[in-house]
Amino acid sequence: MSQGEIFIVVLITAIILVSAALIIAMLISPRSTNEQKGEPYECGIPTRGTSWMQFKVGYYLFAILFLMFDVETVLLFPWAVIMKSLGAVGLCSVLFFLFILVLGLAYAWKKGALEWK
């Protein structure tokens, strides 16, 4: 089989599996037509005022920093698995990667992004 044929087979298989999962879920899922299902739910406490309130930008910055270091961990794992075969070039490239991340962390720390107020 050529690569194009393999791609078509994988694409058709993916479409069939996703469609089958959606159809099975629609068939066996419980149905309830209750009026309360359409109302907003916030931990059982009735809402006061509008739901559109602003959050401090520090929360978003903290979340982005968390994601950045989480992705760093995901990117370092494959490197650690094949570290011996990469040699000095691989070591230098990952040290450069870590250096950039440490600079970003130092910048965020200096700006006070890691302080929870």
pLDDT, one tens digit per residue, over 92-103 is 988 998 899 889
The lowest-confidence range among 55-59, 81-85, 91-95, 103-107 is: 55-59
Please answer whether residues 76 and 94 qualify as being in contact, where contact means their C-beta atoms are separated by less than 8 angstroms: yes
- Tell me the percentage of the chain whose pLDDT exceeds 90: 26
The letter for the amino acid at 41 is: Y
Please answer whether residues 108 and 114 qualify as being in contact, where contact means their C-beta atoms are separated by less than 8 angstroms: yes
pTM of the model: 0.48
Please answer whether residues 65 and 112 qualify as being in contact, where contact means their C-beta atoms are separated by less than 8 angstroms: no
Tally the C-alpha atoms within 13 A of residue 80's C-alpha that lie toward its C-beta.
6
**Alpha helix (H) ranges present in the chain?**
3-28, 57-81, 83-111
